Amino acid sequence: MARRFLPHVLRPVTDLDGVWDFAYLGEVEPDDVDPAAIAFDDVMAVPGCFDATPAYAGRRGLAAYRTRVRAGAGLQRLVFEGVQHWCRVLWNGEPLRDHAGGFTRFTAETRSEGGEVELIVLVDNRFGERSPLHLEHFDWYHFGGVSRSVALHRLGPVRIDALAIDTLSVADRRIEVRVDYTADAPATVPFALACDGLPLLAEDVALDTSGTLVRTVEIPWAAPWTTADPRLSLLAAELGGDDLRERFGLRRIGVEDARITLNGEPVTLLGVNRHELHPQFGHAQPAALLVADVQQLKDLGANFVRGSHYPLDPLFLDLCDEAGLLVWEESIGWQYPVEHLTAPGFAEAQIEHIDEMVAAGRNHPSVVLWGILNECPSWSEAGRPVYERLLGRLRELDATRPVTYASLNAFDDLCFDLVDVVSANNYPGWYFGDVPGIPAQLDRIAAHVDALGHADKPLIVSEIGAGAVPGWNDANGSLWTEDYQTALLTTVVDHVVGHERISGLGIWVLGDFRTTEHREMLLKRPRGVNDKGIVDEYRRPKQSFKAVRERFRRHGA
Ligand code: ADA
């Protein structure tokens, strides 16, 4: 798996990325599949999205991926970084588990006698009850496949299952380290922590069959993580022969006097929304593309990127940690209707997904905001309890970061009291109104939020933008031209930069991306593409990119 550090040096890990056997099964139900009878007549890259390849473009159905791996004897853990968007994992033909949701890490465990094992993953990219988090009407194309890395971990009698690191005090260089473990039986084993290669502690600990070890330690040599100087440290935990390493930065995020603060200093978030989509790779983002995206964000002069509208690739977060970018990481969602949001099982499915998102994202210093449910019914009485539950879950899992959601219509919203940061999506000059009216519209939103009694909360304009067909201009500067998009975005940036009430801006959107096959949406999306990008789907800059860059850089974001 492509990461910027090695999570394990003691635990044996086999990387399963490569080219797997593949069969497209189509309109078949997973329960009806006999794994021994699958005719694997093709191959597919892992990570990859099968429906981003020419042979399977646009197909929705069941597919099967197969590889063979040498397993050790004892407990084996398969680690999937993301499968789109429902899957069943089979180990020598035996189902280990199902998973729905796409963009998050999950594991499947089994005891093995060792030797060669056939691993099959049934992957379904159809919409339906098995994947309650995905709906067809969302404004992006849901590609299917084993879209992120896969690895096999050989486990011993003691396992470190998670390592969480929180900064307690930047000034005192003090952190809290929590190690979640499981063990075959209670035992007393050695436990050690080291940071940046220097030992922090070494002791014997009495373990139960599962539990958490919590320690507070100081790392006097570490420097704070800031956007200008994003210093990182590597913490290594060893417990009873197993190990886990995580990178972190000494930094605290806060909310004070209606501003977001980083290490106590107010910071204005200036940047873009970003989808992890590409015409040739779908949701599977090659390392080269992620590196290029981060370069482009830095070139733009952005300090902020919102992961719209699902949890991001772990390598992208590593790169943002190194680049000093501030990330809004959010759970999957897009205008779920009230009936869907409140349907039995939906909140539970979201919670499982949120738990996975936080587990994978929590040690990244770049992640400064947790979000949920883009443009969902926060305007409805019925929806409010779901917001309450999901935001509550986020706070329970991580009290160190502010929580938010992007509201569809600030003027109708009923849930702003539930968040630390108020975020409003709004499209003046595009879906309504005109470009000269944008400053007044943004000020109206700010005044409304204040009048609701939230003047103490930071306000982010989380989406705003205009479509521009790449390369298209006309003499009138009409809608869909690069000229129009540039005029709109420069008006927005000029108004937001230095605004005393607005703490953040997420331009919609960094790159053009393919939209859903849903007809209603397609009719509003020339080329079948949401082309509100300031770069096109191959990341070629549009005119607006240069104009925004000039402004972001001048402001020194
Ligand atoms: C919404 C939504 C985005 C995108 C955008 C648009 O704000 O959150 O995902 O669909 O509108 O392009 O209309």
Ligand 1 center–CA 93 separation, angstroms: 42
> 87 and 218 share a domain?
no
* Domain annotation covers residue 4: no
Return the residue whose CA atom lies nearest to atom 3 of ligand 1: 139
The residue range of the domain holding 218 is 158-248
Q: Quick check: 1 pLDDT over 90? A: no
- CATH classification at residue 85: 2.60.120.260
Residue 557 has pLDDT above 80, yes or no: no
pLDDT at 185: 98
Q: What angle do CA 83, 84, 86 make, to 5 degrees?
A: 90
Q: What is the mean pLDDT of residues 296-318?
A: 98
CB of 276 closer than 6 angstroms to any ligand 1 atom:
no
Instruction: Judge if 347 and 468 occupy the same domain.
Output: yes
C-alpha 385/C-alpha 390 separation (Å) is 9
Sheet holding 233-239, edge to edge: 198-207, 187-195, 233-239, 242-248
Domain closes at, from 191, 223, 248: 248
In the block, residue with structure tokens 């989808």: 275
H/E element, 290: helix 287-300
23, 42 in Cβ contact below 8 A? yes
Residue 253 lies in a domain: no
> What is the CATH number for 308?
3.20.20.80
Q: Distance from the CA of 499 to the center of ligand 1, in angstroms?
A: 24
Does the structure show a pLDDT above 90 at 555? no
Residues 394 and 432 grouped into a single domain: yes
Q: Judge whether 24 lies within some domain.
A: yes
* pLDDT range class, residue 180, cuts 50, 70, 90: very high
Query: What are the strands, taking DSSP E only, across 469-533?
Result: 502-507, 513-514, 529-530
Nearest to 521 by CA among 136, 142, 144, 143: 136
Q: 282 and 382 share a domain?
A: yes
In a domain, 136, yes or no: yes
Per residue in 102-112, pLDDT tens?
999 999 999 99
Average pLDDT over residues 312-326: 98
Q: Whose CA is closest to atom 9 on ligand 1?
A: 139
Q: Which residue has the tokens 């000029």?
A: 494
Ligand 1 in reach of 508 Cβ (< 6 A):
yes
Query: Total structural domains in the chain?
Result: 3
Q: What percent of the chain has pLDDT over 90?
A: 99
ipTM score assigned to the predicted complex: 0.99
Are residues 211 and 305 part of one domain? no
Through-space distance between the first and last CA atoms of the chain, rounded to whole angstroms = 32
Q: How confident is the model at residue 556 (pLDDT cuts 50, 70, 90)?
A: low
Residue 531, ligand 1, Cβ within 6 A: no
Residue 10 inside a domain? The answer is no
216 and 299: one domain? no
> How confident is the model over 230-286, as pLDDT tens digits?
999 999 999 999 999 999 999 999 999 999 999 999 999 999 999 999 999 999 999
Rounded CA separation 232/249 (Å): 5
**426 within ligand 1 shell (Cβ under 6 A):** no
Q: What's the confidence (pLDDT) of residue 279? A: 97
Query: Best substitution site from 425, 510, 515, 534 to test ligand 1's pocket, by max atoms within 8 Å of Cβ?
Result: 425
Same domain, 119 and 171: no
405-422: average pLDDT: 98
Q: Tell me, yes or no, whether 135 and 165 share the same domain.
A: no
Q: Is residue 13 part of a domain?
A: no
- What pLDDT, in 10s, does the model give residues 431-472? 999 999 999 999 999 999 999 999 999 999 999 999 999 999
Among residues 230, 229, 231, 181, which one has the least CA distance to residue 207? Answer: 181
Domain presence at residue 35: yes
Q: Tell which of 129, 148, 167 closes a domain.
A: 148
pLDDT band at 424 (very low <50, low <70, confident <90, very high): very high
For residue 274, CA distances in Å to 76, 237, 312, 316 come to 35, 33, 10, 11
Determine whether the shortest distance from the Cβ of 425 to ligand 1 is under 6 A.
yes
pLDDT at 261: 98
Ligand 1 centre to CA of 139 (Å) is 7
Q: Confirm if 409 and 445 have CB atoms less than 8 A apart.
A: no
Closest to 83 measured CA to CA, from 38, 34, 129, 134: 134
Residues 84 and 201 grouped into a single domain: no
Among residues 92, 126, 148, the one where a domain terminates is: 148
Pocket test for ligand 1, best of 135, 136, 137, 139 (most atoms within 8 A of CB): 139
Q: With a cut of 70, say whether residue 353 has pLDDT above it.
A: yes
> Could you tell me the maximum CA-CA distance found in the chain, to the nearest angstrom?
77
Task: Give the tokens for residue 24.
Answer: 């497209």
pLDDT tens per residue across span 118-163: 999 999 999 999 999 999 999 999 999 999 999 999 999 999 999 9
Average pLDDT, the chain: 97
Is residue 12 in a domain?
A: no
Residue 2 has pLDDT above 90, yes or no: no
Q: Which atom of ligand 1 is nearest to the CA of 375?
A: 8
The reply to whether the predicted model has a pTM over 0.80 is yes
Q: For residue 209, what is the domain's CATH number?
A: 2.60.40.10
Residues 360 and 450 in one domain: yes
Same domain, 92 and 132: yes
Residue minimizing CA distance to atom 10 of ligand 1: 139
Rounded to 10 deg, the angle between the 287-300 and 543-555 helix axes is: 60
